[in-house]
Amino acid sequence: MGSAGTVAELVQRQWGDHRPGLRHEGTVLTHHQVASGAAARAALLAELLPAGSEPHLGVLLDNTPEFPLWLSAAALAGAAVAGINPTRRGAELARDILHTECRVLITERAHLPLLDGLALPDVRVLVTDTDAYAALLAPYAGAQPGDTVLKRPAPATRMLLYFTSGSTGAPKAAICTQGRLAAAGRSLVDHFGIRGEDVHYVCMPMFHGNAVIADWAPALSAGAGVALRRRFSASGFLDDVRAHGATYFTYVGRAVQYLLATPERADDREHPLRLGFGTEAGAVDAARFRERFGVRLVEGYGSSEGGAAIQRTPDTPPGAVGRASDRDDLAVVDPETGRERVAAVFGPGGTLVNGAAAIGELVNRGRTPFEGYWRNEAADAARVRDGWYWTGDLFFRDPDGFLYFAGRTEDRLRVDSENLAAAMIENILARWTDAAAVAVYAVPDPVAGDQVMAALALRDGARFDPEAFAAFLRDQPDLGTKMAPRFVRVVPSMPVTATNKVHRVGLRREGFWSGGPLWWNGSGGAYEPFGEGQLGPLIREYEEHGRHDLLSSHGGGF
């Protein structure tokens, strides 16, 4: 079977394949039924979209069979899907739908309250779990792939408009064409040896690029099955994997930590799962996951924008993501000057000893596959400057060319004139056995630069022991003298976004103190409780140095 240049070709290949292709709860559709359902929806879409409008549809759904059916339908019709985030509200939700010029919105009854009172002029709303929807589809039941197209599918045909979760401003809709999505799926099939008998478990939200690009697309490319979970559930994960015979899954954010926080069971290793692929698990939790569940986690690097790719090879050292792919010319540079950073130097135990000189922003100096943002020239210009693609992510590179993730550019800290990466500190703090989740971010120093704030969510039954925590920090050989948290917030649970990533914007907005348990190392020795009586002296210290305005801009909790 030759390589497909478009997603439409991959959908067409399902025709006549009567193996199980799509599973969800008690529903099982064959590959052929998926292709048939996609053809019917493509024909309906052609009838609904007004002449002259952009061939865009919005999908506001949980992970139900209708989501991949409409992805497949859009591919056949030459249309594009905008994944709509159901955690958005009000004017922001309406903005996402209208900005991507969706004239048809696919949703379900559970999400209809989100649309109440929204001004969505000329947007046709289809509610999938209703009799009216079934009646709309019925006339097209005999459609076949290729019968109806709005625009003849080609590699350059727009396929996805997926919103990025930027830390500032309105989310940007990254463009992904059929050719790039098909190539991404094929690349993962080749890299991981995905087979037609595999089953991909899609538990990350399909409105986000991870689930579609790294899970659905490779399954489609290999002719593998797909099993859907409406929403991620740590407690239901293994039961789902066993029920569906799942062999592969993807993850983002804190999903792995949630799975590790579930009670251990004697049958934790009794399942068909062999591989997890994702980001932000961290080396410590990846090792814990493999030890407990017997499943290898592969940390990857990528984004909906697709501007740079890092490939993991068998000789990739622990902690590294991999090397630049053959198509990319990746470099780690000073984000202000563009000069390349020096190679990393490691001390005993593999600790990075020259982080201030080695950590920089990852750029692609070669031909980038980045396809732009929808109707956002300013964002395009910020992402591609002087012919380079700027990822917005911090990395360092070892002498052999292996790249190590060090966090996002907005997560940089500058402590006593030394540049630090929040992710590096988080990886160290994650070793503390009482911590279920860790987030590190900057709060302003009274004089200049930043101080280190750590938010800790504790494991069940644990309590914060300041002496034990301080002793733990002293025992970490790679914890630099500027890395130890000045402030420690204990949170009941780590705030996360809809894609299970730590909600750093919210943490930074709350700043120092939001009324919950807070500890600080004011003397450079032990951690002490921080109470309301200490707010006044702290505020005066900032006022004396003319930095009180930063408390408001960082939240401050005052």
Task: Tell me the pLDDT of the chain (558 aa) as tens digits.
Answer: 557 899 999 999 999 999 999 999 999 999 999 999 999 999 999 999 999 999 999 999 999 999 999 999 999 999 999 999 998 889 889 999 999 999 999 999 999 999 999 999 999 999 999 999 999 999 999 999 999 999 899 999 999 999 986 544 578 999 999 999 999 999 999 999 999 999 999 999 999 999 999 999 999 999 999 999 999 999 999 999 999 999 999 998 778 988 998 999 999 999 999 999 998 787 788 999 999 999 999 988 876 688 888 888 889 998 888 998 777 899 999 988 999 999 999 887 677 888 889 989 999 999 888 999 999 999 999 999 989 999 988 899 999 999 998 877 777 787 876 667 788 888 889 999 999 989 998 887 766 678 899 999 999 889 999 999 999 998 987 787 788 898 899 998 888 887 778 887 778 777 665 656 888 886 666 888 887 666 666 666 665 655 544 444 444 444
Cα end-to-end distance, the chain, whole Å: 63
Tokens of 514: 């939001």
Q: Helical H runs in 369-430? A: 377-383, 422-429
Residue that is written with structure tokens 């022991």 in the block: 465
Which among 389, 385, 393, 397 has a CA at the least distance from the CA of 367? 389
Residue that is written with structure tokens 């400057």 in the block: 385
- Asked if 518 and 510 count as a contact pair (C-beta separation under 8 A), the reply is no
Q: Facing residues of 364 across strands?
A: 330, 389
pLDDT of residue 405: 85
Which among 281, 311, 308 has a CA at the least distance from the CA of 296? 281
Which among 184, 189, 402, 181 has a CA at the least distance from the CA of 275? 189
- Asked if 499 and 432 count as a contact pair (C-beta separation under 8 A), the reply is no
pLDDT of residue 528: 86
pLDDT of residue 393: 87
Which among 334, 256, 335 has a CA at the least distance from the CA of 289? 256
pLDDT of residue 448: 62
Please give the Cα distance from 97 to 265 (Å, whole number).
44
404-429 CB burial, b ≥16 within 10 A, e <16: bbbbbbbbbbebeeebbbbbbbbbbb
pLDDT of residue 541: 65
Report CA-CA distances (Å) from 115 to 82, 98, 124, 127: 16, 13, 12, 12
pLDDT of residue 558: 40
Tokens of 269: 């290793």
What 3-state class would DSSP assign to 534?
helix
Residue type (1 letter), 34: V
pLDDT of residue 169: 59
Q: For 464, how many CA atoms within 13 A lie in the half-sphere containing its CB? A: 21
Report CA-CA distances (Å) from 171 to 82, 88, 357, 517: 12, 11, 32, 33
Tokens of 50: 């007004």
